[in-house]
Structure 1
């Protein structure tokens, strides 16, 4: 490395090299495990942006959420744990994220695989992210995660649930808790093995989450 930098290395240089090498090692490991489908993707502004977003997730994740590549740079899966002091507390919520070839100028398609009783999430799991096209994937998931604590009933996808939230909050909370208990479990089927993540945050039944 001293030959590359053409000067003696100092601790800061070594730290930066270590971070870069670790990030690319993780990305190459993903590529190796997915039959090189990522390498076959053209080198475009979209792929460069997505790789940058992936590197951010290796260093800047937030507690209660994690995202991984599934089979290409344009197909991600994420897991969220319902925040405390909400009807979704300790629920395990899985999401699919599909990015377009025009990313980030075209908003991604985000869909919950877990059924969620929420005014901003459709019965089919759809989430409106039209206003989030310029955000990184990290920022996008942070916005979605925040909606568990702060729903936006004036911009609903499900108008019936939004009305319940506005007019019958106690019943809304009961319904949301019931759905969380029934559907948001660690035994959901997933393309990613999240067992280590669930173990780290002490969620029960992590071994039942299968590929």
Structure 2
């Protein structure tokens, strides 16, 4: 039986004592060239997002980890969140797009659909998720909660109650939080 060549894939799998230098170069080669189907999908969506981002949104990987992103959403005009800069962490599961990404607001926001830990109540990130959805659609849905909160599926019932009972007071408090935490 012949020994596999040191640089071949078979050689990488069967060699028992590679040198430290060859191991480092091979592990780099493996990690940068073997991208899973979820990774390929995320890369494709990243290209599409960069070519045509939703207005007021941007997102991309943190460092070199394709599965951990940071996003920003600018508070839309005509809302109490106007001009605020909201940072979000987006974590893609290994089985993306069959499971939704996890989105967490890192910027504090006075909103009935975002709790104090930054968790978001958004149907497309739960029961309405479909593999046909993309990160661009997720960003658009996140943007929509700035203009159309869902007080009937709140994470913060007190804020939802205020929104339903006294929308002007709710807007005043949301604008105060925008100035305090998002500018």
Q: Give the TM interval when normalised to the shorter protein.
A: 0.7 to 0.9
Between the two structures, name the one with larger relative contact order (CA 8 Å, sep ≥ 6): 2
Which structure has the larger Rg? 2
Taking structure 2 as the reference length, what is the TM-score of the superposition? 0.77
Deviates more, 1:39-48 or 1:61-70: 39-48
Structure 1 gaps, min length 5: 1-35, 186-211
How many residues are aligned here? 150
Residues 89/37 of structure 1: CA separation in 2 closer, same or farther (3 Å cut): farther
Aligned to 2:147: 149
Give distance in 2, aligned partners of 1:95 and 1:142.
13
Asked if the contact 2:54–2:139 (Cα under 8 Å) also holds between the matched residues in 1, the reply is: no
The answer for the alignment partner of 1:132 in structure 2 is: 129
Secondary structure at 2:170 match in 1: helix
SS in 2 for 1:181: helix
Task: Give the Å deviation of 1:114.
Answer: 0.3
1:43 has 2:41 as partner: no
Deviation at 1:48, TM superposition (A): 1.2
Q: Which moved more, 1:76-85 or 1:125-134?
A: 125-134
8 Å Cα contact 2:99/2:129 also seen in 1: no
Quick one: structure 1 residues 133 and 113, their matched pair in 2 at CA, closer, same or farther if it must change by over 3 Å? Answer: farther
1:37 Cα deviation from its structure 2 partner: 10
Q: 1:43 Cα shift?
A: 2.1
Q: Who is 1:180 aligned against? A: 178
Answer yes or no: is 1:97 the counterpart of 2:111: no
Runs of 4 or more consecutive aligned structure 1 residues displaced over 3 Å after TM superposition: 36-42
Question: What is the root-mean-square deviation in Å for CA atoms of aligned residues?
Answer: 1.9
For 2:98 and 2:87, locate their aligned partners in 1 and report how far apart those are by CA, in whole Å.
25
Distance 2:144 2:29 in 1: 33
Equivalent runs, 1:1-211 vs 2, <5 Å: 39-40=31-32, 42-71=34-63, 72-128=65-121, 129-130=125-126, 131-134=128-131, 135-185=133-183
